[in-house]
Structure 1
Amino acid sequence: MEDLALSIISMLLEANIPNKAPSAQVLANCTLLAGILLGLNVDKTVLVKVDKSAAIDVLVTKLLVCLQGCVDGAHPQHYASRAKKCLPHALRIIELTGAVPLDGSFFRAGLACCKEIFLGCSAISDNETEDSEDMQRRLFEAGAALHTAICIPQGPLGYVYQPDDSFLYWYGEFTWAHDTRSSHEFEWLIDYICELRELEGYEVEDTLADALLASSAMKSLGSRTREAAYLEVLLWSMGPEQPARLRYAALRATYETRRTLLAAIEDTDGYANLREKLLALSPAILTAISPSVEGSHGVLFDEGRDGCYLKLLFTLVKNPAWCSRLSLDDHINRCISLMAEAADSNPHAFYLAGIFLRITAVSKVLELPLDDMFSRAKLSPPVPGAWDAFPSVYLSGNDDCVEILPDLTELTLEYIPLDRFALETLHERIDWVLDVLRKYSEPESVISAVETLLKVVRTRLNSPLVSI
């Protein structure tokens, strides 16, 4: 009956009528049926009405409450698995009705429910009163609660992503509003991830991907007692034999640890025993973004995936050890190959220019030769886009972007365009960057360098030699 009900909801929501969404009556009936599957108690006055469209807002609100109950332990555990099956339809209903998404409490509740089920089955396992099949079922029950939680949008401006939508990996918000947690509070989640890796079955990769997306909320490698185990899972999950969803989830989790990865390599005492394993992430990252046999995942340029990749590299290449290892593992050629696709893309152009400028700076300090394919001339395409992207990159919270502006200024001076329109556009973008720098009181040395560039561009604009 459950599968039949879900099939009916699917057919009604996805009826093949060009340019026409389901009617309010159809949406109301689908919402009611989905809610009943999740334990919704409906007022009899609504049930007896032939046209339930007037109650759509109430029904959608109650459906969201039911989903919340499935991930916070209010309903029996079997509802968590049912919620996972129903989730794509529930998200479609939310999208079509424009319902106000719930806040970050949904994600907190999902994690809490997953933790409770996992720790509960761990306790049972310790007593050896449950066989391996039941144990696996309970681990997937825990994953079902987590799956529902990470897909529900957070905040009034949240987006609705289907579970298989790649945008969820790159733009999903997996955080707690006004809630700071220590790395020790994530130990159970890393234990859960390690347990999942040992399982077999078609659901393992999807459940593990959900758990890795959730783990990205800790912004680190976890506590010292769990770092090695978490690194092992990240490396394994980005392997070439893994499906794209798992590789991408692991890449997102790795991206969120970028500041820890940078600090860990610089801390030669505290992380000496993990150094090689940390650096082994370099080839794994390249594997994670490489084309696979899964069709659409094999495109050369993907805005979300490559944005995550470039931001990760931008942070890591600050460190000589990371810079050397990333260069050795062919990341430079990967970035060069992205140049044609991403040079005009915001904010990718900024990160591409920043990566190459940082590699150049590190190479000079270490007196290392640069790759033959790598030259200053190759850096010119992303320069205009880099200036255009800077304000959005800066205002998104990436303070590191300020420190490359002097080098970006020098590069721009070498390749100032002759075309008047291009010059006017560049002048406008640099002027905007200056406004941002002054408003937020950035170092005077940086402001002065950008001011000098602006004067040169302005002089060129007034030159009679500029082509129209």
Structure 2
Amino acid sequence: MWYEQRSIAWVIIATTAFGFLFYSLTVMACLISPACPFQTPTSTMLRMSHIDRVLHLLFKQASSYFQQLTKSLHSMLERLLDIFRPGWNRLSEVSRGPVHAIGAFAQRFLQQLITGLHNWLRFVPRFSTKVVDSEAQLLGPNLDAWSGNDHILALPDIPTSNLEAPSVKWLLETSTDPEVFLAAASLVPQVEWPLDFDVSDMLHQLYDTYTSCVGFHGQVIPSLKGKASACSVAMSHLYCGRVLQAYPTRGEFLGCSKRDYDTFLQMTQRDIDKADKMVLTAAMNLCLPQDGDDSFGWIFLYGCPDSVVEWLSHSLPYYFVTRRTNEGMQEIGTNVISKLLSSTSSPSNQIIANCTLLACVMIGVQFDKKDIIRIDKSSALPRFANTLLEQFEITLRTRYGGDLSDDSTASASCDYILIEVICLVLESAKDYYNSSSSLHAMRNLDVCRKIDSRIRSSRAEQNSPRYLLEEMQNALPNALRFTLTAAKISRDPVKLWHCQCLGTGDSHSPEDFDWLVDYLDECIRFDEKEVSFDILLVLFVIKVRYSPAKQHQFFSSLVTCLHTDELRHAALRLAHSAREDIVLIDAIDDAELQNMILTEFSPAILSAVRPQPGVTPSYDSPEGFARDQSDLCYLELLFALARNSNWHLYLFVDQHIDRCISMVAKYHVGKHAFYLAGILLRIASEHPLVTSLNSITEWRWWNLMRSAWSHASSTTNDIHCFEFLPVLVEGTKRYMRIAAQESYSYVGGQFDLENLIRHADSVLNAPEVRDSQQGEGESVAVAVKELRTAASDMLEKLVSSQGVASA
């Protein structure tokens, strides 16, 4: 080849030499840094012969020499500036301009020289005194358990070899490309740094790189702000992990001549962005001297980028776990959770997991160190959420659930803002925890009752501490919200109609819930609509229990809420739940209360269901999403009221009947049709001369009847619907002839009659089972059988007539 194609031979030789040189450099890099991601079989065999130790020693001595040289040169330049500075200040105004220009040029030249030396020095890599071992055990003991806490959560281990941390560390130690270094530093907060990974040298390197971005005037050089920012954030992130790694011992980990706290404090006092200052302040608070609350640095989230707030949600648990927290840090924690979870955009599962873990450690849940530093916690979100719920229920009952005579529980405070934040966390994680049982829900409600009792006792006692009263007043609405959230009772108006009632148990008497009626009245008077909404929900889920003494107050408050736009849906849901008490108005001995219910309750119901003037229901509004459900709730309520003839006049006068007539064309299937038929047939049978009913044509009556039967079989377990079936039978017989008229198509008439017979058969199966339990069972069965026979005869005649016509 050399003699025949010399040019090609040169290319092959050059390529081979370049490949050998590149491979040799790769092997050398792998020997110098065990964290290098480009390990080769050759480097592994050479390391087994301990050649890497010789290289470590040589480069370590060279690194130490150049560091001393740089520091000496920097100190000499500072002394020279101190010598010439007095003379500079005495220069005349005439000569100051030229000298200033020369001085600025010299300063830039010297700064570039120092920066160049530092960048060249970074080519000589740093070495950890410990080599990463993927099998190494965690440093330090597990965290101490919070007293009385049985929750110890542990997530599956992730081997160090599966993490990106070694590669990022290698890039930071070896890269001379500023863009690569900046990208690697930006990745530090995004990758997981396990506790068996030594980052001491990285902290020193990042701090040295940061100081190289600071000019002689003590401020960050504008052109190097991006680099300084990346270094400060990366250093703060690694420092938090280093403190957690060393816990429960304390130490100075930056390796500077002054305390870590003073180093971070000096960094925050420079001209840097607010985001960087907040991150550095967080790290500074972690190395706060013992008994140094006066030096605590506040973190103001207003105007902070979301990335900083998200980073805080990950790093703040370090403070609570290492017991380096105070009231200020707890307030910062609640602010971080509120800002992230109150955002208009839906938070990611990772953010929810961070906030849930933060809330857990704020109330004392124990975690292993290795789980605190986990970056991706979303897979553990169900465990976090269930633990938070269980532990906070215990905390709430411990601090507020004692007897009224127990001063220790009365004086122990649970920050009401913390309760509010935990509700926010649970609402965001509602798909990941199991709702409280009815027993636990009632226990939580008992805690709310005791808080209310303490409030009223404090108001009665003139010498009661004002701060305690204010705290209880703030805690009560949040504790009530927590009770609903723990039971997964949604406050979403769209989901309001699907709420399920909770069992109160035999241990609770109606008098145990009187305080809710009093509290609702108080909130209405002070226009506290949010709390009033929660009370209405609670009264609904406990099936409207109160003593007879509170009946007048309850209905008066309910009427007010039905007229209030923000409360009308919840109030209508509650009125629906209390409909049996409203129907039995004759049993009320109080004539004033009876008159109030008859005259005020009916128009209030209509006010609750009518669209507000000037408001067009949109698709995403409660009216747009849940109009069918709210109308069904309204119709079931009127269906109950129509059973009592005392209500008929008020249903006419207040235009409920007109509204029902207008709904006939819209709701011609299912439950709505059944309850519409029940209302209109009962009114028509007792008031045949009512002219408004004449607007319903016979065809619409028949359409309503046949649609009502499609739901009749599913109502037989409701005694009141069951009792209505004979009335429905008579109404159906009256308009069934429409199906056989010539104007009605043969196919349509046959189909309707066949469906009617099938629905009648379904109903007949239920009464036969209930004959022995209900006296009405036999009469209902007879009536339905008569209807079935009449429908069968009519169907037979219809088929026969069609056959004759065809012939």
Coarse TM-score class (shorter-chain normalised): 0.7 to 0.9
Matched, 1:8 2:340: yes
Matches within 5 A, 1:326-337: 326-337=651-662
Instruction: Tell me the CA shift for residue 251 of structure 1.
Output: 1.8
Matched, 1:226 2:554: no
Matched, 1:455 2:774: no
In the alignment, which residue of structure 1 is the partner of 2:154?
A: none
Matched, 1:84 2:408: no
In the alignment, which residue of structure 1 is the partner of 2:449?
A: 115
Matched, 1:410 2:724: no
Instruction: Tell me the CA shift for residue 286 of structure 1.
Output: 0.7
CA distance in 2, matches of 1:212, 1:162: 12
The one-letter code of the counterpart of 2:418 is: R
Which segment drifts farther, 49-58 or 354-363? 49-58
CA distance in 1, matches of 2:556, 2:608: 15
CA distance in 2, matches of 1:192, 1:389: 40
Matched, 1:445 2:779: yes
1:142 aligned to 468, 473, 476, which one? 476
Matched, 1:197 2:524: yes
Instruction: Tell me the CA shift for residue 372 of structure 1.
Output: 4.9
1:271 aligned to 584, 587, 590, which one? 590
2:703 aligned to 374, 377, 381, which one? 381
Aligned-residue RMSD, C-alpha: 3.3
| Contact 2:674 2:709 survives alignment (8 Å) | yes
CA distance in 1, matches of 2:782, 2:789: 11
The one-letter code of the counterpart of 2:452 is: F
Instruction: Tell me the CA shift for residue 152 of structure 1.
Output: 3.5
Look at both structures and tell me which one has the larger radius of gyration over its CA atoms: 2
3-state SS of 2:548 partner: coil
3-state SS of 2:722 partner: helix
CA distance in 2, matches of 1:373, 1:223: 44
Q: Taking structure 1 as reference, are residues 453 and 184 closer, same or farther at Cα in structure 2, changes over 3 Å only?
A: same
CA distance in 2, matches of 1:317, 1:41: 58
Instruction: Tell me the CA shift for residue 108 of structure 1.
Output: 0.9
| Contact 2:664 2:704 survives alignment (8 Å) | yes
Q: Taking structure 1 as reference, are residues 248 and 78 closer, same or farther at Cα in structure 2, changes over 3 Å only?
A: farther
Matches within 5 A, 1:254-403: 254-263=575-584, 265-267=585-587, 270-279=589-598, 280-292=600-612, 293=615, 295=617, 296-298=621-623, 302-344=627-669, 346-363=670-687, 369-373=690-694, 375=696, 377=698, 378-395=700-717, 398-403=718-723
The one-letter code of the counterpart of 2:546 is: G
CA distance in 2, matches of 1:323, 1:347: 22
3-state SS of 1:139 partner: helix
Matched, 1:424 2:754: yes
CA distance in 2, matches of 1:255, 1:84: 30
CA distance in 1, matches of 2:802, 2:371: 72
3-state SS of 2:716 partner: helix
Provide the TM-score with structure 2 as the length reference.
Answer: 0.50
Instruction: Tell me the CA shift for residue 187 of structure 1.
Output: 1.9
Instruction: Tell me the CA shift for residue 224 of structure 1.
Output: 3.1
Matched, 1:434 2:764: yes
The one-letter code of the counterpart of 1:277 is: M
| Contact 2:658 2:692 survives alignment (8 Å) | no
Q: Taking structure 1 as reference, are residues 300 and 3 closer, same or farther at Cα in structure 2, changes over 3 Å only?
A: closer
2:354 aligned to 29, 40, 65, which one? 29
CA distance in 1, matches of 2:466, 2:526: 10
Unaligned runs of 5+ in 2: 1-331, 401-411, 740-745
Instruction: Tell me the CA shift for residue 454 of structure 1.
Output: 1.6
CA distance in 1, matches of 2:499, 2:518: 23
The structure whose RCO (Cα within 8 Å, separation 6+) is larger is 1
Instruction: Tell me the CA shift for residue 299 of structure 1.
Output: 5.1
Instruction: Tell me the CA shift for residue 188 of structure 1.
Output: 1.7
3-state SS of 1:388 partner: helix
| Contact 2:757 2:791 survives alignment (8 Å) | yes
Q: Taking structure 1 as reference, are residues 139 and 342 closer, same or farther at Cα in structure 2, changes over 3 Å only?
A: farther
| Contact 2:716 2:763 survives alignment (8 Å) | no
CA distance in 1, matches of 2:440, 2:351: 27
Instruction: Tell me the CA shift for residue 317 of structure 1.
Output: 1.2
In the alignment, which residue of structure 2 is the partner of 1:65?
A: 390
Instruction: Tell me the CA shift for residue 193 of structure 1.
Output: 1.5
In the alignment, which residue of structure 1 is the partner of 2:435?
A: 101
Instruction: Give the length in aligned residue pairs.
Output: 438
Instruction: Tell me the CA shift for residue 281 of structure 1.
Output: 0.5
In the alignment, which residue of structure 1 is the partner of 2:74?
A: none
Instruction: Tell me the CA shift for residue 427 of structure 1.
Output: 2.4
| Contact 2:559 2:601 survives alignment (8 Å) | yes
3-state SS of 1:231 partner: helix
CA distance in 1, matches of 2:694, 2:727: 20
Q: Taking structure 1 as reference, are residues 288 and 137 closer, same or farther at Cα in structure 2, changes over 3 Å only?
A: farther
Kindly, what percent of the aligned residue pairs are identical?
26
Matched, 1:164 2:492: yes
Unaligned runs of 5+ in 1: 16-21, 154-159
3-state SS of 2:708 partner: helix
Which segment drifts farther, 432-441 or 372-381? 372-381
Q: Taking structure 1 as reference, are residues 415 and 273 closer, same or farther at Cα in structure 2, changes over 3 Å only?
A: same
Instruction: Tell me the CA shift for residue 403 of structure 1.
Output: 1.4
CA distance in 1, matches of 2:413, 2:443: 14
1:126 aligned to 443, 460, 464, which one? 460
CA distance in 2, matches of 1:326, 1:71: 47
Instruction: Tell me the CA shift for residue 53 of structure 1.
Output: 5.0
Instruction: Tell me the CA shift for residue 208 of structure 1.
Output: 0.8
CA distance in 1, matches of 2:657, 2:788: 30
Deviations 1:251-271 (A, max 9, x none): 2222222111222x2236x13
CA distance in 2, matches of 1:312, 1:71: 37
In the alignment, which residue of structure 2 is the partner of 1:249?
A: 570
CA distance in 2, matches of 1:437, 1:208: 43
Provide the TM-score with structure 1 as the length reference.
Answer: 0.82
3-state SS of 1:340 partner: coil
Matched, 1:235 2:559: yes
Matched, 1:185 2:512: yes
Instruction: Tell me the CA shift for residue 424 of structure 1.
Output: 2.8
In the alignment, which residue of structure 2 is the partner of 1:18?
A: none
Instruction: Tell me the CA shift for residue 86 of structure 1.
Output: 4.2
Instruction: Tell me the CA shift for residue 54 of structure 1.
Output: 5.5
The one-letter code of the counterpart of 1:117 is: I
CA distance in 2, matches of 1:440, 1:222: 32
In the alignment, which residue of structure 2 is the partner of 1:19?
A: none
CA distance in 1, matches of 2:656, 2:542: 26
Deviations 1:156-205 (A, max 9, x none): xxxx564234322x2323432543643322222212122222224xxx10
3-state SS of 1:150 partner: helix
The one-letter code of the counterpart of 1:119 is: S
CA distance in 2, matches of 1:233, 1:255: 15
Q: Taking structure 1 as reference, are residues 139 and 57 closer, same or farther at Cα in structure 2, changes over 3 Å only?
A: same
| Contact 1:291 1:300 survives alignment (8 Å) | no
Which segment drifts farther, 69-78 or 374-383? 69-78
3-state SS of 1:341 partner: coil
Which segment drifts farther, 2-11 or 271-280? 2-11
Which segment drifts farther, 248-257 or 73-82? 73-82
